[in-house]
Amino acid sequence: MTEVFIFYIFAALTVFAGLGVLLHPNPIMCALHLVAAMIGIAGLFFNLNAPFIAAVQIMVYAGAVMVLFLFVIMIFDLKEEGRGIFSYGALSNFLKILFAGLFSGLLLSSILFKISRFGYLIPDKTAPQFEVRNLAKVMFTDYVFAFEVLGLLLLVIPIGTVALSRIRGGTHAQ
């Protein structure tokens, strides 16, 4: 009973924060609403007995990615964009909600199709509980090759970022 109640609290937080991301004219406020949405999703993970995933969600998305977004928004002066047709007024809000609605409709219909086809959505209560130890055992035995490739992928990101920031015209141009 409690878990249903808490699910609705966090679901409402996530949905309203998501609407805030869409509808707020100021890009900084949009980013802050996205932070709230991330915290809501972390709460949902916590409610599903996966506290480690919840903490990782907060650390990576709310603590790192959103700080990057805020820095990026502050780097570019977004006043000109703020005056565009897609930022203010009933028309732009209508368009935003329309496209977001179309996208979530697509998502929802695919989920409903999957349920009608395979008939599962509610997690199996008899399945083993999520444990970080089990995750680690699977990750470092069966998927160890994928894990090392991931290390390589994470190496590519900083190299690419630095290379991009050094091309002509950037502040790191040589």
Partner 1 sequence: MGASGLEILINVVKMVAIFLLMVQLVPILVWVERRGSAFIQNRFGPNRVGPLGLTQLLADAVKFLFKEEFRPPKSIAFLYYAAPVVAIIPGALAFGAIPLSAPFTLELGGELVQFNFQSFHLGIGIVFVLGISSLGAYALLFAGWGSGNKYSLMGALRASAQMISYELALGLSIVGILLIYGTFSFDEMITAQQGPLRFMLMGKPIVVDFLPNWGIFYQPLGFILFFAATFAETNRAPFDLPEAEAELVAGYHTEYGGLKMLMFYIGEYGHMMVASALLVTFFFGGWDLPFGSEGVREAIGSSFLYSLVMHLVFMGKVLLFLWIFIWVRWTLPRFRYDQLMDLGWKTMLPWALFNTVATAAIVVLFNSQGGLS
Partner 2 sequence: MEAIVPILVLTLIVATFGSLLVYVSSILGPKKHYTKAKYMAYECGLPGEESEKSTVSVRFYLTAILFIVFDIEILFMFPWALTYKEFIAAGHGAYIFWVMFVFIALFLFGLIWEVRSKALEWD
Q: Which residues bind partner 1 (CB under 8 A)?
A: 28, 32, 35, 39, 42, 51-52, 54-56, 58-59, 62-64, 67, 70-71, 74, 132
Alpha-carbon separation of residue 150 from 16, 69, 155, 157, 163 (angstroms): 34, 23, 9, 11, 20
Of the candidates 69, 4, 74, which has an alpha carbon nearest to the alpha carbon of residue 38?
A: 69
CB of 23 to partner 1, least distance (A): 15
CB of 52 to partner 1, least distance (A): 5
Select from 60, 97, 111, 146 the one that contacts partner 2 (CB under 8 A). Answer: 60
Residue 167 burial (C-beta neighbours within 10 Å; 0-12, 13-18, 19+): exposed
CB of 45 to partner 1, least distance (A): 11
From residue 128 to residue 157, the character string flagging contacts with partner 2 as x (rule: CB under 8 A) and all else as - is ----xx-xxx-xx---x--xx-xxx-xx-x
Q: Please say which residue, 64 or 107, places its beta carbon nearer to partner 2.
A: 64
**Residues of 144-161 as b/e, b for ≥16 C-beta within 10 angstroms?**
eeeeeeeeeeeeeeeeee
| Near partner 2 in 96-115, by CB under 8 A | none
Phi-psi region of 131 (alpha: psi -120 to 50; beta: other; left: phi over 0): beta
Of the candidates 7, 68, 14, 3, which has an alpha carbon nearest to the alpha carbon of residue 39?
A: 14
Token code pair at residue 144:
């160890």
Determine, following the binding rule CB under 8 A, whether residue 79 of this chain makes contact with partner 2: yes
Q: Please say which residue, 9 or 115, places its beta carbon nearer to partner 2.
A: 9
Which residues in this chain contact partner 2 in the complex, by CB under 8 A? 2-3, 6, 9, 43, 46-47, 49, 51-52, 56, 59-60, 63-65, 67-68, 71-72, 74-77, 79, 132-133, 135-137, 139-140, 144, 147-148, 150-152, 154-155, 157-159, 161-162, 165-166, 170-172
